[in-house]
Structure 1
Amino acid sequence: MELFTKLFGSLLVFVYHCFDRIVIHGYLSALTRPEQVVYFFRQVVGVAAVDKEVLSRRTAEYQGWVEAFARNHGTPIEWAEKGVRKEDYVQRWLRPMVRAQRYGIYFIFKSMEQGPTFRCTVPKYPTRDPNYRILAPQRSRFTHYYFYIRDETLGPIAMRVASFFPFQTTYYLNGHSFIEQELNRAGIGFRKHDNAFLAVDDPAALQAAADRLSPALIRERLDYWTLLLGPKFSARERALISVRRFYAISQIEYCRNFIFKRHFPIHKIFERSCELGLWRLSVDKVSEIFGTRITKKLHGNLNTTLEQIEHGHHIFRAYWKHAFVKQYEKFATFLRNEVCSNNLADFGLRKGLEHLGDVREKFLGITERFATFQARCLNAHVDFPLLQRLALPITVGSAKYPGIKIHDTRMIRLMQVLLHAGTTVGGWRAQQLHEVLVTSFGLSDKRYGLNQLRYDLRKMRAHALLERDGNRYAYRLTDKGVKVALLFVLFHQRLYGPLANSLFHHRPDANFQPDSKLEKAVHKADDSIRKVIRLLDS
């Protein structure tokens, strides 16, 4: 992390880390095992035989309550269609609530899904107890309800409730939504887009808000919505058994976000880091990033991939057991490193919600080590399409000017003269430039006339490489023009020409090279190019 900020600190706007997606399972601890269910119905409810009809009756009661709740509150309730992403579908009901600053349930989905339940069977042979039934856990397909909620603390969340015993619940949260609520409550301005904060008035307050997401706060809000929307138990049932749920983390993501300045070519650098990462991020380095050692007992994935998803968006992933760390960039503005886990036992962590702080500490260390590795990959020369951009025609006002080609000898000569401005502090006049060009390169007026020079000067001005000295018709290179001119001239004279001659005509003997730093550098570049060619041919 220190290396990353050291290398790119001047290009960063701010950095923050937080929980992203969190999936939590809620279990009724007192009703998860068959013997507990039998005790509940026989001793608490007062039912002699726990059969299929008894369980179905509780399901029908809850399903009827959900339908009545939706009808009484005017909440839309629909069956989920195959192939439709639920989160995208409900956005048109969420947006009006956000504009009106209202909180509550705004949509309910019904979905047929697999879930845990119990199977009741009559014993094959008669027993002393005529009401004895065999109750066994199983997974079957039945109705689940998705409640889409806008919570005043956690922001938009989703709660899935199974309509069959033991009524398992699942909660879908997002740390960015919680931070948004905290910043709004504190009156801090920000700009959030696509689950990321791209601008904020107070970055320290943003990080402080992210750190306030605690197990106690989450439990309080989940308990509230579970009591309101979950299966109903009478006062007597609540007095005799505990209906408090145990919350376990099923899936969790922790991210570190680097917000860059918009002019920074982050997309090209990310591509370069992916190329290097695929080659250099070996299994031992992956294991080091996750803070473990490779042993014979290690089972599961241990590899790296580069995946392409919608709109050509790429994600670099390093897998480890049931977890992975991924990196991607968006909008040429922010870079995200994210740890995702589907089984916290891989890290020696407990799944209970109360251990969320341990998860934060563990995942924060992983993102720091991954950022350090990526910093070394990102600290590399990458392709910037300067030559392609200059070669394209440009329109200034109503006039259209052609591009500047790197192989244009006429333009290279003009740039070479413009770079030698030691005796022309006030800039070059067109007549002066023409005389120097004709004299230096042995040209005739017919071959390179004054009008041709003025055409070249207008073209350079259109590309912001040249500027006038006030109102005078005297020209000098801009800051951008100096860099481009040096790149063009040195590329031809010091790099392209010597290397091309070495590759196609005559290669100087390295044993008798002159004692020149430039010549040594050219030999080194020549050797590197030949090595690349051999690798491509092999």
Structure 2
Amino acid sequence: MPTVTRLLQDHVTLTCECIDRMYLNGYVPTLQTPGQLVRFYSDHRGQPIASPVLCGRHTASFVQAVETFAARHHIPMVHFPKHARKEAIARKYFARYRGSEGVVLIGVAQERMRGFRATKLAAGQFSWTRQPVCVKHYYFYLLDRDFGPAFIKIGTYLPFPIKVWLNGHEWVKRQLEHARIPYRSLDNGILSVADPARCQALCDALSADHVEAFFRKWLGRLPHPFAAADRRAGYRYQLSIIQLEVSATHVFQRPLQGRQFFEEVLREHLDLGRPEQVQLVFGRKVIRTTPGPFRTRLITHDVDPSLSIFYKHSKLKQYLKEGRALRTELTINDPWDFHVRKSLRHLGYLRQLGQHITRRLLASERVSQDCAPSEALFHQVILPSTHNGLRAPGLRFGEPRVMALLSALCAFLHLVDGFTNRDLRDRVAPLLTPQPETYTAARMTYDLRRLRRKGFIQRLPDRNRYVVTAKGRRIALFFSKTYTRILRPGLGACDPTLPTETPTPLAHAFHQLDHIITTLVQEAHLIAS
């Protein structure tokens, strides 16, 4: 069976890295607290009392504007039943829509949102608090010339929150059509394209400016919760990121190759869900206060398996799309998982971060099956050497301390912030039985010096932190896999003192070799018969 590396190098017809689904939050920054609400009605609109009556009038005015808009433009309004699949209902209206751009449907649903509640204190006085409220929401399902199908959801009560749903792949498809570049569509993706380089360039070109332009265009066309005078006074919406999907799609030549990929990957990566292994993919340190759980889920329903890796609020999923394409998809449910704020202006950075993480997973899957070093590199590792005039002691294969050290390095790959002496020592010490307490900070310092002079780790500039190099990762994987998957089980199979009902082929061959060597020694009269 071909390896993961061969499958990705020789049997992929198209690779496409793109922002997938975006779910955004529209909010008015100056209308988020009770005090700001009071200032809105009292200072800005000149009302003597910020009362619930004013909020009710504001809601009624917006609802009337939406109903008038729907009637004027002959837009169907559908009341969604509770727990209904809104996308399935909207899909039927999209199928019947014949325009090139416009509002396809207005859905109506009762949903919860964070609004304001008033408590009457005395005559003409109210106390406002921010609380969950259940109010009417309008779903404006749109067909956009640049983004294709999308929707904007607006709550009908202060502060009139907005939710925006877009799809980056649909944006790329529209740009290909505008440029008259032929392509074949994949469900939420692209199966083939006449100009792959141009397609990837378009994927990389999607930015926060395009999303902002879409949002402002439709805010100008749809009924707006705030009057023009309110907007001129600074009560304008801004966008933040609720959920973002960044994906890498590899289209295989045949469906069989997709199945072969997963057979190889799942066999090699059954333990990726451990917190230490999560760091391989997400590049973030897991500490005591890091919220869990951390887990890996393998699903093999029907014919398409999938691999899901969870980290904080985010999820990395790998699965087959339509049996033809490998989709590696990072879903960011909270940008702060990666110490990034939610503002839309960080979209470009989050896209790069997502691409880096998906590539990291694919690189991990490749190297795990192709980690054998050259003979020269192997000798450089196990023998003492000199680098830049500094002596580097050898790392002898099989030595418990060396094996524990390299095993710990496997769990610290690609940490964006690196690791310290203490971080790595806490991982190495438990692997040194029966006396882990003997592994002191001084010994860890000595080992870090060995690793650095061998080129396995690099020290970050002006910091006492280190990151693992590509060479270090390869050697750590090779030593660990060779010891745990070949040497240890092989020696166990050859041990004549271990009872076995049916000897393994290795044990049978070893016993035959042992018998032949014993016969040769006896015939040479090297030992007494």
Q: Normalising to structure 2: TM-score of the pair?
A: 0.68
Question: How far, CA to CA, are the matches of 2:321 and 2:314 in structure 1?
Answer: 23
Task: Check if 1:199 corresponds to 2:201.
Answer: no
Corresponding residue for residue 255 of structure 1? 247
- Aligned to 1:321, which of 292, 312, 320? 312
CA displacement at 1:275 relative to structure 2: 3.9
Corresponding residue for residue 131 of structure 1? 124
Corresponding residue for residue 510 of structure 1? 512
Instruction: Give the alignment of 1:141-156 within 5 angstroms.
Output: 141-156=134-149
- Aligned to 2:219, which of 226, 246, 253? 226
Instruction: Give the alignment of 1:208-247 within 5 angstroms.
Output: 208-239=201-232, 241-247=233-239
CA displacement at 1:90 relative to structure 2: 1.4
Q: 1:51 to 1:371 in 2, by over 3 A?
A: same
Task: Check if 1:65 corresponds to 2:87.
Answer: no
Q: 1:271 to 1:71 in 2, by over 3 A?
A: farther
SS of equivalent to 2:57: helix
Corresponding residue for residue 81 of structure 2? 81
Question: How far, CA to CA, are the matches of 2:113 and 2:255 in structure 1?
Answer: 49
Question: How far, CA to CA, are the matches of 1:268 and 1:82 in structure 2?
Answer: 42
Q: 1:7 to 1:513 in 2, by over 3 A?
A: farther
CA displacement at 1:232 relative to structure 2: 3.8
Give a deviation string over 1:199-238, Cα, whole Å, max 9, x none.
1111111111111111111111101212332534334333
CA displacement at 1:274 relative to structure 2: 2.4
Give the conservation status (yes or no) of the 8 Å contact 1:21–1:173: yes
Give a deviation string over 1:42-85, Cα, whole Å, max 9, x none.
22323222222211111111111111211221111111123432
Question: How far, CA to CA, are the matches of 1:513 and 1:367 in structure 2?
Answer: 52
CA displacement at 1:117 relative to structure 2: 1.0
Give a deviation string over 1:151-205, Cα, whole Å, max 9, x none.
1122211111000010000001111111111101000111112112111111111
Instruction: Give the alignment of 1:456-475 within 5 angstroms.
Output: none
Amino acid at match of 2:106: I
Amino acid at match of 1:119: R
Corresponding residue for residue 112 of structure 2? 114
Corresponding residue for residue 90 of structure 1? 90
SS of equivalent to 2:226: coil
Give the conservation status (yes or no) of the 8 Å contact 1:159–1:172: yes
CA displacement at 1:280 relative to structure 2: 5.3
Give the conservation status (yes or no) of the 8 Å contact 1:301–1:322: no
SS of equivalent to 1:208: helix
Question: How far, CA to CA, are the matches of 1:12 and 1:53 in structure 2?
Answer: 63
Question: How far, CA to CA, are the matches of 1:80 and 1:164 in structure 2?
Answer: 19
Give the conservation status (yes or no) of the 8 Å contact 1:117–1:140: yes
Corresponding residue for residue 42 of structure 1? 42
Give the conservation status (yes or no) of the 8 Å contact 1:273–1:377: no
- Aligned to 2:175, which of 166, 182, 188? 182
Question: How far, CA to CA, are the matches of 1:166 and 1:279 in structure 2?
Answer: 46
SS of equivalent to 2:295: strand
Question: How far, CA to CA, are the matches of 2:56 and 2:219 in structure 1?
Answer: 21
Corresponding residue for residue 30 of structure 1? 30
Amino acid at match of 1:227: G
Task: Check if 1:302 corresponds to 2:300.
Answer: no
Question: How far, CA to CA, are the matches of 2:353 and 2:65 in structure 1?
Answer: 42
Stretch of structure 1 that moved more, 207-216 or 48-57: 48-57
Give the conservation status (yes or no) of the 8 Å contact 2:65–2:223: no
Amino acid at match of 1:37: L
Corresponding residue for residue 324 of structure 2? 333
Question: How far, CA to CA, are the matches of 2:255 and 2:243 in structure 1?
Answer: 36
Corresponding residue for residue 20 of structure 2? 20
Question: How far, CA to CA, are the matches of 2:330 and 2:19 in structure 1?
Answer: 10
Amino acid at match of 2:10: S
- Aligned to 1:348, which of 326, 339, 356? 339
Question: How far, CA to CA, are the matches of 2:355 and 2:291 in structure 1?
Answer: 23
SS of equivalent to 1:90: helix
Corresponding residue for residue 164 of structure 2? 171
SS of equivalent to 2:112: strand
Stretches of structure 1 lacking an aligned partner (at least 5 in a row):
381-500, 516-538
SS of equivalent to 2:269: helix
Q: 1:101 to 1:192 in 2, by over 3 A?
A: farther
SS of equivalent to 1:30: coil
Give the conservation status (yes or no) of the 8 Å contact 1:116–1:138: yes
CA displacement at 1:341 relative to structure 2: 1.3
Corresponding residue for residue 522 of structure 1? none
Give the conservation status (yes or no) of the 8 Å contact 2:11–2:257: no
Task: Check if 1:278 corresponds to 2:270.
Answer: yes
Question: How far, CA to CA, are the matches of 2:162 and 2:316 in structure 1?
Answer: 28
Amino acid at match of 2:230: E
Q: 1:49 to 1:377 in 2, by over 3 A?
A: same
CA displacement at 1:30 relative to structure 2: 2.0
SS of equivalent to 2:133: strand
SS of equivalent to 2:331: strand
Q: 1:91 to 1:193 in 2, by over 3 A?
A: same
Amino acid at match of 1:22: M
Question: How far, CA to CA, are the matches of 1:280 and 1:363 in structure 2?
Answer: 18
Question: How far, CA to CA, are the matches of 1:502 and 1:132 in structure 2?
Answer: 88
Give the conservation status (yes or no) of the 8 Å contact 1:272–1:377: no
Question: How far, CA to CA, are the matches of 1:54 and 1:308 in structure 2?
Answer: 56
Question: How far, CA to CA, are the matches of 2:297 and 2:28 in structure 1?
Answer: 39
SS of equivalent to 2:40: helix
Amino acid at match of 2:292: G
Give a deviation string over 1:128-162, Cα, whole Å, max 9, x none.
xx532111111111111111001112221111100
Q: Normalising to structure 1: TM-score of the pair?
A: 0.67
Give the conservation status (yes or no) of the 8 Å contact 1:167–1:231: no
SS of equivalent to 2:348: helix
Give the conservation status (yes or no) of the 8 Å contact 1:318–1:324: yes
Question: How far, CA to CA, are the matches of 1:150 and 1:341 in structure 2?
Answer: 25
CA displacement at 1:351 relative to structure 2: 0.8
Count how many residue pairs are aligned between Structure 1 and Structure 2.
384
Question: How far, CA to CA, are the matches of 2:368 and 2:273 in structure 1?
Answer: 10
Give the conservation status (yes or no) of the 8 Å contact 1:261–1:333: yes
Stretches of structure 2 lacking an aligned partner (at least 5 in a row):
372-501, 518-529
CA displacement at 1:282 relative to structure 2: 3.6
Instruction: Give the alignment of 1:459-498 within 5 angstroms.
Output: none
Give the conservation status (yes or no) of the 8 Å contact 2:154–2:160: yes
